[in-house]
Structure 1
Amino acid sequence: MPQSFLSHVLLLLGAGFLVANVRILVDVARYLRMRSRAVLTWPSPQPRYYGLFLAMAAMLGLVLMVKLLYLRLPPTAVFGEAMMLTYYGYLVPLSIRIGRGFYEDGVWVDNGFLPYHQIAGLSWREEEQLTLLFIPRMKQVARKLVVPAPFYGAARRLLRDKIGRRDIDFWGKALDLGAHDERDDA
């Protein structure tokens, strides 16, 4: 029973990591199509526990080799470990290469791409890190973009221009008497 339970848990984990892997692959494919239209971008910071991710990938690689070569298990028996190895060893390092920042069609935030027309609001958090918060239309969760200090002025100017051209439009305010210049929100 414990062996069967463990194999079911690993299969379930593999399915979850498969979804995460597909999501990262979609993001990387979108980035490859868009990178020529970059306006203001910078390298993505490494995840907090990046070294641990790589160590887990190395250990998962060893587990896969033992299961396939020594124990001679069929490839279907290592699905969970293979999906985790793909995630930690290949796709997380690949996703780090996606340039964060501003593109012609939208903003690449920390967790994906946000088109300009979906931005309903924005706010700067000027604390330890300069963080730009985007509030997407019809969503409850703000999306963040950490802006390195050397890019702060250029990012503010770019946002001001996008708001001025109505690429970013803050429609739907409760009381708009025309006295507020939306470009000041950048």
Structure 2
Amino acid sequence: MTRTRFALVASSLTLTAVLAACSGMPSMPMAHMATPYSQDMLPDPVKVPAGHRVAWETVGVGEITYECRAKANMADAFEWVFVGPMAALKSRGGETLGRYFGPPATWAANDGSALTGTQVAVAPAMAGSIPLQLVKANPAMGSGALTGVSYIQRVATRGGVAPAMPCAAGSTGKREIVQYQADYIFWKPV
């Protein structure tokens, strides 16, 4: 075998070995690839106004607590009332970047920056999921990722709605925790 032919065969075998090794590796889902976030498919009420850019994308994974309470001004009527959320804010790759909790609704980054906000609008999500939401951010406390954020969108919601079990006089004060997930998109002025 000539030296050139030997080198070609060796290179081919090395490439084959590398490809075989890689074939056993899990492939990265398309959702985790670096694609720019687009709000084109969102309902108009929860779209961020022009003149803003995405500054931070997170995936909130956690729970929402509800409590069975008497309805205001309605004798013998009861309902599940939202008490508050608790969620980890993660990167698309799963790294924990901060947390979300309330009330009041507070987003806190691991770098020490945090902010609260006021709901501007909501829009229906798929059945069984909390609504999509647009929040106007208050000025951030501390310095970091949340400094200068003007809006927060809650999109791609899954779960989180009030419990399906009955809420009645005998269960007043009972709390139930439901799991949820949502993307929180943070926007800053351009």
Larger relative contact order (CA 8 Å, sep ≥ 6): 2
Q: Which structure's residues are more often helix, by fraction?
A: 1
Asked which structure has the greater CA Rg, the reply is 2
